[in-house]
Chain A
Amino acid sequence: MKKFIYITFAFLFSTLFSGCDNGGDCNINNVSYYRIGFYNIDPETGKEVKYTFPETVNVSLVVNGQDSTIVNNITEATDLALPMSYTNECDTVIIEFGTIPDSLYVEHTNIPFFISMDCGTGMYHMITDIKQTGNLIDSVAVIYPQVNFDAHENIKLYIAQ
């Protein structure tokens, strides 16, 4: 019986050092980003492979009618993480692959979300559709429509051969 009491107290004592998380999912600036991965199809195997773009990549967002550069001259790009508008239902993204521009039209819903008193309120999104201009982009697929603080890849962007 005493052994049982000791075990119980030992369990409770150990929980003092194990539990009591703050329950929050605090994120810097409470801004959620959607992630785009570059892919192409390996001609030999016919399977998709991660694509590293050999030239520089620039990315602009159309903000209130003006182009706003958000990614400038990155090299060996394999993916992008971009913010979404809190109020627009469609964001226009201009991606320049070297000298070839392509546009993405990302349709989404906006979900303001109370996280906790410690973390405040953040903005989540749901991607509902995506279109592209097809200059260098062959096709595009939404693989994870929820945009939140999790680091999921949301969109696969297939580069033409």
Chain B
Amino acid sequence: MMSGSRELDLKTVSAAVEELAFQASLELPADIEESLLRAAESESKPLARYALRMLAENAHVARSEGLPLCQDTGMFHLFIELGEGTSLPSGYIAAADRGLREATAKIPLRSSLVDDPLFGRANRGDNTPVVVHVDEGGPAGKVRLTLLAKGGGSENATHLFMLLPGEGWEGVKRVVLEAVIAKGAQACPPIVVGVGVGSDASGAIELALKSLLRPLGSRHQRESLAACEDEMLESINALGIGAAGLGGDITALDVHVEEAPAHIASLPVGVVLCCHALRRRTLEV
């Protein structure tokens, strides 16, 4: 069955998305929960510590009571990484939507998407459509599917900056801090900060979004960018915004930077702030 090309079947796509939506909505990933617990231990400000302990307790209540981690159950992104020798069937996007529709009804999730955003804003009732991103790079013969549920409050904190190429790292640092100062307190801190450098405008945002999928504490394989991540994390935490914006030592749990080739005229910088409930789950099928 591994010979030649293996095409995923539509039922597998639906079932995987449904399963991932359950996991992502109800169970905080272990790296996030551990990071919140460490933050609650180390935070020196009592009010922020109070908030962090509440978040740790929230993860426990969600798991034990089967309640969504957040009432904003988010807009769903599906990241597909095709391994060598695998392909997608036509209709895979509709199949992903079917899986999400099932999960929305069964958990149940809040329906957070509206049609006609400018005028009618009528609730769609099922959280579809899933935003689908397709890449290569999955393990040979398999497809890696990652579902991310992104809340609206932190999504509203997204920034795009088109810097001059000469502004370099100092410029990037300045605008990332600008974004966190402007919106950090409203993005449900402690946040995870994704920074996309390069590509074009839409690509920079996409890079920033994808950087959220890396485990907390991981560092970019390029030493220069790993150092940038450390430096940025320290600068953000020095702002003192703190958990729930109540003032404290821990404003961000981590900063991830991703890069891609850019045009000779451009230095695009995408900044995505994710709330502490970084709801991402992965399955290989």
Genuine A/B complex:
no
Residues of chain A touching chain B, judged by Cβ–Cβ distance below 8 Å, are none
Residues of chain B touching chain A, judged by Cβ–Cβ distance below 8 Å, are none
